[in-house]
């Protein structure tokens, strides 16, 4: 008798759970929730496709701009990147494309802003380690091109992270050496330049930097 009661109780629980599930599904269909979810998903996918299309077009335009030295094409590349950003601001790629186009146009401050957007928490997760390392290197190079001395420290922080993410980039180690040299930390500068040459023995600027430091007066 007790066993039959237990079975009846368990069956009753199962029946009640089934009714709750049915009522929940009924509620969803009454309010067109599945249709709305499907519609949102389709719109999101369509926006992603359009964003990627704008990015590809912008990348092609920037390549042509560099080959022909055309600022008009670079401006079109920037516009395509901006359209991609409007559709998908969490993708770092169009932010990077916009930064490269702005840099080509000589607008370094605006390019830095775009790199900041690409490396922000919102977008940086879409980057691989090597892509993030390249973006940090580019931002450091733009900062070093500035006349503001305070930006050297920011560039040094970017480059330190860049070489950790990608320890095989000779240009990043050269830029790191440049930062150390500007800060008069010559021992670390020599190590960075030497590492750059280990990775790329024909890197002339690193050879010249080592020669310059080797021939500079030593201070106690």
Check residue 63 and give its pLDDT.
95
What sign has the CA pseudo-torsion 142, 144, 150, 151?
Answer: positive
Q: What DSSP designation does 21 have?
A: H
Q: Which residue has the tokens 């020599």?
A: 190
Q: Is the pLDDT of residue 61 over 90?
A: yes
Asked if 44 and 83 touch (Cβ cutoff 8 Å), the reply is no
User: Predicted confidence band at 77 (pLDDT cuts at 50, 70, 90)?
Assistant: very high
Check residue 209 and give its pLDDT.
94
The predicted-structure confidence for 174-219, as pLDDT tens digits, reads as follows 999 999 999 999 999 999 999 999 999 999 999 999 999 987 665 4
Q: Which residue has the tokens 């519609």?
A: 39
Q: Is the pLDDT of residue 31 over 60?
A: no
Check residue 25 and give its pLDDT.
47
* Percent of the chain scoring above 90 in pLDDT: 68
* Percent of the chain scoring above 70 in pLDDT: 75
User: Predicted confidence band at 2 (pLDDT cuts at 50, 70, 90)?
Assistant: low
Q: Distance (Å, rounded) from C-alpha 135 to C-alpha 124?
A: 10
Q: Is the pLDDT of residue 38 over 60?
A: no
| Six token digits for residue 29 | 């269909």
The dihedral region occupied by 127, where left means phi > 0, alpha psi between -120 and 50, and beta the remainder, is beta
What does the buried/exposed string (b/e) look like for 35-49 if buried means 16 or more CB atoms within 10 Å of the residue's CB? eeeeeeeeeeeeeee
Check residue 41 and give its pLDDT.
45
Q: Which domains does the chain have, with CATH numbers?
A: 50-127 (1.25.40)
Q: Distance (Å, rounded) from C-alpha 195 to C-alpha 209?
A: 12
DSSP 162-180: HHHH-TT-HHHHHHHHHHH
Check residue 10 and give its pLDDT.
56
| Six token digits for residue 81 | 């990147």
pTM for the full predicted model: 0.76
């Amino acid at each position: 008798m007790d066993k039959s009661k237990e079975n009846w109780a368990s069956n009753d629980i199962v029946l009640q759970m089934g009714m709750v599930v049915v009522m929940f599904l009924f509620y969803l269909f009454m309010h067109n929730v599945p249709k709305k979810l499907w519609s949102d998903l389709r719109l999101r996918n369509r926006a992603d496709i359009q964003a990627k299309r704008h990015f590809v077009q912008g990348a092609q335009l920037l390549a042509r701009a560099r080959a022909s030295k055309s600022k008009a094409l670079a401006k079109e590349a920037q516009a395509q990147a901006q359209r991609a950003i409007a559709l998908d601001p969490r993708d770092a790629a169009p932010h990077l494309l916009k930064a490269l186009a702005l840099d080509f146009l000589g607008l370094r401050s605006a390019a830095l802003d775009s790199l900041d957007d690409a490396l922000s928490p919102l977008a940086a997760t879409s980057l691989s380690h090597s892509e993030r390392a390249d973006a940090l290197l580019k931002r450091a190079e733009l900062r070093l091109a500035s006349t503001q001395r305070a930006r050297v420290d920011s560039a040094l922080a970017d480059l330190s992270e860049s070489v950790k993410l990608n320890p095989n980039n000779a240009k990043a180690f050269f830029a790191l050496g440049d930062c150390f040299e500007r800060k008069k930390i010559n021992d670390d500068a020599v190590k960075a330049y030497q590492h750059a040459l280990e990775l790329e023995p024909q890197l002339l600027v690193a050879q010249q930097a080592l020669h310059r430091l080797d021939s500079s007066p030593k201070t106690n």
